[in-house]
Amino acid sequence: MPKITFLGAGSSIFARNVLGDCMLSPALESAEMALYDIDPIRLKQSELLLKTLSANLGGKAKIVAYDDPRAALANANYVVNAIAVGPYDPTILADFEIPLKYGLTQTVADTLGVGGIFRALRTIPVMLDYARIMEEVCPNAWLLNYTNPMASVTGAILHGSNVKAVGLCHSVQVCAKDLLEPFGINTDNVRARIAGINHQAWLLELEKDGVDIYPEIKAKALARTEKHGDMVRCEIMKTFGYYVTESSTHAAEYLPYFIKSRYPELMEDFRINTGMYKEWGPNREKYWKQYMQEQLENKQQTHVRTFEYASYIMEAIETNRTYEIAGNVLNTGGLIANLPREATVEVPCLVNANGITPCYVGSLPPQCAAINRTNINTQLLTIEAALTGKREHVYHAALLDPHTSAELSIADITSMVDELLEAHKEWLPVFK
């Protein structure tokens, strides 16, 4: 039976979902599930939680918690990554508060923007350390990365190591649903063709029962007059012709048009919440403690398999039954012909005993590729900064970020970066 290692197992809810999915697969139910986290308290709680769940689902899985990453990774067949580097306060909070001093407002800041850049810079060195261990103790394992910023972290692993890796996100799975649900249309017999980059992939085609329904749905979506929570994506679709995978809250900060200090009314008009991060940390911690207490006390807990890709990927490789996913991979060979080949792209991939094979997409609509390239510029420069340790590339990444460059001057951007590097020096000692 395979060995599945979970890095960041203190993320108990996500670990429970992914490994619970594995327990429900006949091909994976007897696997060793190796848990690793730097927080011993959370690690122990996840271990207890998963042992109870395993017992209730037949008790075939072997749950083992490790305090040594090398031992956790030794002889692994699959490695699921869900780490977060740096605490909410002060580290993640600084990603928002310092830019705000300069007049730069963000929403989520986990993918692009200054917050996304610094999250990547903190995360990439840690992931490359794990990749080095994997090269030694489990060189044939697949790394399934769920940690954001997806394109930058996955790209750095693929550029900076020999590890077989794919980035996974569930935006693609829910994209068509998000567009169709307001009109009471379910996704039964729906075929969606989606490609681009993570959190900014494009719904290129949409069919139901073999009929192209995209023009009709676009017209309905753009005819809505009431305020709703998906207004940014609808505006992008209206302007550029295609619906994008990530939520309006996320999508707003990947472009220069929606969060603007000169036009504060835009945020109200498009229902953009830029203050939620202030409550996110404390609320998340409160929710996590309550959830863990309830779950640890619940000896009857069970599980229903989720739509997360991880277990289906492992199952397809183990059984040689082909499964299609949306994966984040290098654009090797020009999978998307009009995006840079060194970029991390999100494309359909086929999975079987041969591993994960990306599918050729061809060219995106030119306007969609152009928007993607504005994000890719920052992602590639962030990776370059992380791999080389050159401070100037951190400046370059921030200077070319679409939202940041639309709001701030060169002088303010470089000063802001300097202040963030100082605030994060514990995590970023390489940038002196």
Catalytic sites, residue numbers: 170
Our CA angle for 25, 27, 28, nearest 5°, is 70
CA angle 117, 160, 380 (to 5 degrees): 35
Distance set, CA 388 to CA 128, 262, 381, 392 (Å): 13, 37, 10, 10
DSSP secondary structure string for all residues of 339-406: S-TTSEEEEEEEEETTEEEEPP-BPPPHHHHHHHHHHHHHHHHHHHHHHH--HHHHHHHHHT-HHHHH
- Measure the CA–CA gap between 122 and 59, rounded to whole angstroms: 38
With beta carbons less than 8 A apart as the criterion, state whether 50 and 35 touch. yes
| Cα→Cα distances 123→64, 119, 147, 157, 288, Å | 25, 6, 9, 11, 22
Q: Locate 367 and state its tokens.
A: 């306007």
At 193, phi and psi to the nearest 5?
-105, 120
Query: Is-contact 127 387, C-beta < 8 A?
Result: no
Distance CA 35, CA 316 (A): 22
Rounded to the nearest angstrom, the gap between the alpha carbon of residue 196 and the centroid of all alpha carbons in its chain is 14
- Residue 199 labelled as part of a binding site: yes
Question: Does 396 show up as a binding residue in the annotation?
Answer: no
The binding site comprises 148, 169, 199
Residues annotated within a binding site for substrate: 148
Binding residues for Mn(2+): 169, 199
